[in-house]
Amino acid sequence: MTGGARNERTLRGCVAVIGIGETEYYRHGASPDPEFKLALKAILAACEDAGLDPREIDGFSSYSDDRSEASRLAAALGTHRLRSATMQWGGGGGGCCAAVGNAAAAIVAGLADCVVVFRSLAQGQYGRFGQAGGIHTVSGERSYLMPYGVLAPPQRFAMRVQRYMHEHGVRQEALRAIALASYHHAQANPRAVMHGKPLDVEKYDASRWIVEPFHLYDCCMENDGAAALVLVSAERAKEFRHKPAYLLGAAFGSGHRAAATAHNAPLYATASFDTVAPDLYRMAGVGPSDVGVVQAYENFTGGVVMALAEHGFFKPEEANDFLTFENLIAPSGPLPLNTSGGNLADCYMHGFELVLEAVRQVRGMSTSQARRSDVALVIGGPMVSPASNLILGSEATL
Amino acid sequence: MSNPSTRYLPAGLPIPVAEPDGLSAPYWEGLRQGKLLVQRCGRCNNWQFGPEWLCHRCHAFDPAWTEVEPRGRIYSWERAWHPSHAALKGHGPYIAVLVELPHAGGIRMVGNLLGDPEQAVAIGADVEGVFEHHPEQDPPYSLLQWRRP
């Protein structure tokens, strides 16, 4: 390694996903298993997929205060030792890619060799994200919102999207195209919660408002389940069962004062990727035109509009022209989006199902395989701080 | 101090209180007195909302609380239909607005837009503040709502 290369701090090509696993995905409240058991099932499935002895796992990484704590997992699984346990701050699925980045960083830094990244979430057991109850008094950020009925994520994010639509002339049809694409892909995915429940224009238009500008189908589901993947260094990646999916880059964070309370971020109408997307492309050494397939976290479709624009696929003023159903579907749309069905129609696994789907795309094993899938982008929860994203690539992209 | 006002949303939603460290106590106490107090740094005159212990521009601690006139213009809005809280079941739609205060450095705050919940709402429209007092609640509190002049 030259002196120059040693100074280049990057995750590019240093680690690879060797296994993915998920539980059955359930409507909230329908899981027969407790949340921790779901986590164990997903992790064991990921190890089985890789052909890895689970006792070799020496690190865990998650986000959004996952309740399945690393030391308990290590004890339950009987791992030989625990070396890395990383929790990404922040909620709203903003950490679904950061958790992978943190795990990769631990491996690259020599802190661990075999790290599981996972999310386990049983909203039926611990409370639905879409309902605010059992709270008598509130302080801080929530106190400026909840007494006015800005209670749950739909109301927290609708004003941000409304402002964006106002500034850039984005029409409801652009949001609708995203919902239609997710549901379309879910019909090909037998694991998807909304498999067998197609959506069309008439059904979308007739659906009730949750909060304007979000119809019912603009909003993610609330589910129970768990998803996991296993990361190892690139040197070891070919020892396992499947074609490795290499991490080309990851980035996290948000711009200047993005989290200023009571909706006071200087740049308000943003998905929080204004600084994070350029960081990702810089590390990955690719640009938007190299990306063949995208998984973009839909808490709400409006967040996807903003996130895709901030990742350079179109200018905000072009959103209405770019965001059409035909453009967003596999195999041949210019930008196949959420090819498993995503948070809207596959499962709201807090975005981690999106990371697994990107791995399937790189492997060539998706139920809605994109024509170009050597470079697969995942965009984590938009409109939150910290946000995160990542790019996976096949061996050919290294 | 203040008489109960007509409430825009039904009782039972979370009640705002200052943090245990008291950061926002002057704001909530101000609303109870019918005054809108926000932070303005005594050193660099920077406006700041929500409150913080530090001025984000010049890093002077404990920005001063300053009374400002409760008027502004609609920066964004939403009309909520789905009840995300048991207290809202059967209530019907309501409007939340994000109001910016150009005379206070463009700080923004969220409230409800009084009047017909199905009225058309325009970004950029002028609004004026209306204090909504709940002295009968435990703990007592006041909100700042908005209406078209």
- Domains of chain A, each with CATH number or no CATH: 15-124+225-239 (3.40.47.10), 151-221+250-397 (3.40.47.10)
Question: Do B84 and A145 make contact, defined as CB atoms within 8 angstroms?
Answer: no
User: Inter-axis angle of helices A301-310 and A153-168, to 10 degrees?
Assistant: 50
On whether residue B37 sits in a domain, the answer given is: yes
> Edge to edge, what strands does the sheet with B36-40 contain?
B47-48, B36-40, B64-68
Which one, of A19, A27, A7, A17, lies nearest residue A224 by Cα?
Answer: A27
On whether residue B40 sits in a domain, the answer given is: yes
Question: And the tokens for A16?
Answer: 């690879």
Asked if residues A273 and A303 have their Cβ atoms less than 8 Å apart, the reply is: no
Give the pLDDT confidence score for residue B5 in this predicted structure.
79
B139 prior amide bond cis, ω within 30: yes
Nearest 5°: phi and psi at A268? -90, -50
On whether residue B113 sits in a domain, the answer given is: yes
Over chain A, what is the mean pLDDT? 96
- Mean pLDDT confidence for A192-211: 98
Nearest to A166 among B81, B88, B123 (CB): B123
Give the pLDDT confidence score for residue B132 in this predicted structure.
98
On the question of pLDDT at A4 being above 90, the answer is no
On whether residue B108 sits in a domain, the answer given is: yes
On whether residue B33 sits in a domain, the answer given is: yes
Q: List, for residues B68-110, the tens digit of each pLDDT value.
A: 999 999 999 999 999 999 999 999 999 999 999 999 999 999 9
On whether residue B84 sits in a domain, the answer given is: yes
Nearest 5°: phi and psi at A184? -60, -45
Asked if residues A19 and A242 have their Cβ atoms less than 8 Å apart, the reply is: yes
Residues of A in contact with B108 (CB under 8 A): 262-264, 268
Which one, of B63, B131, B57, B66, lies nearest residue B103 by Cα?
Answer: B66
DSSP character at residue A361: H
The four Cα atoms B69, B72, B76, B77 give a dihedral, to 10 degrees, of: 70
Asked if residues B24 and A163 have their Cβ atoms less than 8 Å apart, the reply is: no
Whether A281 is catalytic: no
* CA angle A326–A390–A255, rounded 5-degree value: 100
Q: What's the sign of the alpha-carbon dihedral A358, A359, A362, A364?
A: negative
On whether residue B13 sits in a domain, the answer given is: no
Nearest 5°: phi and psi at A343? -65, -20
Give the pLDDT confidence score for residue A55 in this predicted structure.
98
Question: Do B79 and A260 make contact, defined as CB atoms within 8 angstroms?
Answer: no
Give the pLDDT confidence score for residue B69 in this predicted structure.
98
A186 vs A6, more confident: A186
Give the pLDDT confidence score for residue A92 in this predicted structure.
85
Give the pLDDT confidence score for residue A5 in this predicted structure.
52
E strands in chain B? 15-16, 36-40, 47-48, 64-68, 71-80, 94-101, 107-112, 126-134, 141-147
ipTM for the whole complex: 0.98
On the question of pLDDT at A6 being above 70, the answer is no
% of chain A with per-residue pLDDT over 90? 94
Residues of A in contact with B125 (CB under 8 A): none
CA A154 to chain CA centroid, nearest Å: 18
DSSP character at residue A378: E
| Rounded Cα–Cα distance for residues A360 and A369 (Å) | 8
Q: Which residue of B has its CA nearest to A132?
A: B85
DSSP string over A19-44: EEEE---EETT--SS-HHHHHHHHHH
Give the pLDDT confidence score for residue A3 in this predicted structure.
41
Give the pLDDT confidence score for residue A2 in this predicted structure.
41
Give the pLDDT confidence score for residue A91 in this predicted structure.
86
- Mean pLDDT confidence for A359-375: 98
Which of these is catalytic: A217, A246, A281, A348? A348
Q: How many structural domains compose chain B? A: 1
Give me the domain span that covers residue B104. Answer: 25-147
CA distance A240 to chain B (A): 46
The three-state secondary structure class of A75 is helix
Asked if residues A248 and A374 have their Cβ atoms less than 8 Å apart, the reply is: no
Which one, of A242, A17, A250, lies nearest residue A114 by Cα?
Answer: A17
What Rg value do the Cα atoms of chain A yield, rounded? 20
- What residue type is B136 in one-letter code? E
Q: List, for residues A281-308, the tens digit of each pLDDT value.
A: 999 999 999 999 999 999 999 999 999 9
Give the pLDDT confidence score for residue B2 in this predicted structure.
61
Name, in order, each residue with C-beta under 8 angstroms of A6's C-beta and a sequence gap of 6 or more.
Answer: none
Question: Do A146 and B110 make contact, defined as CB atoms within 8 angstroms?
Answer: no
Place of tokens 């992790």: A43
